[in-house]
Amino acid sequence: MPRFAANLSMLFRELPVLERPAAARDAGFAGVEILFPYDEPGHLIRQALDRAGLPLILINTPPPNWTGGDRGFAAIPGGEERFRHDFRRALRYAQVLGARHIHVMAGVAGGLEARDTFIRNLAWAAATAPEQPLTIEPINTHDMPGYFLDDFDLAAEVLDTVGAPNLALQFDAYHAHRITGDVMGTWAAHGHRAAHVQVAGYPGRHEPAGGEIDYPAFFARLDSDGYAGFVSGEYAPEGRTGDGIGWIT
């Protein structure tokens, strides 16, 4: 079985943020991710992580909140200065927290100018922080209308064009299902580019168990392919988080 992480922005929300790392550890998770940690002082989050003894696998950039704010600036023509400002802030948090990956969000945009902007910004970010692993993630436009990076083939093209060793794919099986309807086939085509994996059930984006995505088969495929990264539960629990974590055992 893969190593599982808990997305603390979506799981254990019945607890204060700084108590969630310990709850994730007690539930059996081996790591955590936090979408946007910027509302809490970084040193307090780091202390909570250290007390729990869990690594922080991933944070997102940019800082705006994820419940209605902007969805990134990396592909927004004319937004280069905002992107660079936000990336530097994310980088500072990643260094304080020991975050293994920063997910660079593209934002709502479209067309060739957006593609070229995305590529330039990613190349700048990868060169600015060559020791910091970065990811990009295709996100379905049902959940995030207008999001630029809405296709796995486009992500592959961008990764190949940038060609940075510290830039990789973030593979979310829920988004893959909504984009292609074929999680296993999409992984077969693009999984070799992935440095981080996220999961949620479909329909409903609840626990990754049952539903239309065969997660036992997907996890077995990750093992057989030698995937060495974490698999993070990024879903909305149907009830209390602890009542629905049987999928990690």
pLDDT tens digits, residue range 104-143?
999 999 999 999 999 999 999 999 999 999 999 999 999 9
Domain that holds residue 16: 3-248
Q: Which of 137, 157, 207, 238 is catalytic?
A: 137
14 is catalytic: no
* pLDDT of the residue at 64: 56
137 is catalytic: yes
Q: Which of 19, 80, 212, 234 is catalytic?
A: 234
Q: Categorize the per-residue pLDDT at 172 as very low, low, confident or very high, splitting at 50, 70 and 90.
A: very high
For 179-213, how does the pLDDT look when each residue is reduced to its tens digit (9 = 90+)?
999 999 999 999 999 999 999 999 999 999 999 99
30 Cβ contact partners less than 8 Å away, ≥ 6 residues apart: 3, 4, 5, 54, 230
Give the global pTM: 0.96
CB 110 within 8 A of CB 77: no
- Give mean pLDDT, residues 76-103: 96
Q: Categorize the per-residue pLDDT at 62 as very low, low, confident or very high, splitting at 50, 70 and 90.
A: confident
Q: Are strands 101-104 and 134-136 parallel, antiparallel or unpaired?
A: parallel
* Nearest residue to 201 via CA among 238, 167, 157: 238
* Nearest residue to 183 via CA among 192, 193, 172: 172
d(CA 90, CA 162): 20
* pLDDT of the residue at 2: 95
- Give mean pLDDT, residues 19-25: 98
**Residue 120 is part of a domain; what is its CATH number?**
3.20.20.150
User: What mean pLDDT value characterizes the chain?
Assistant: 95
* pLDDT of the residue at 115: 98
Into how many domains does the chain fold?
Answer: 1
Q: Which residues pair with 33 in a beta bridge?
A: 7, 58
Percentage of residues in the chain with pLDDT exceeding 70? 97
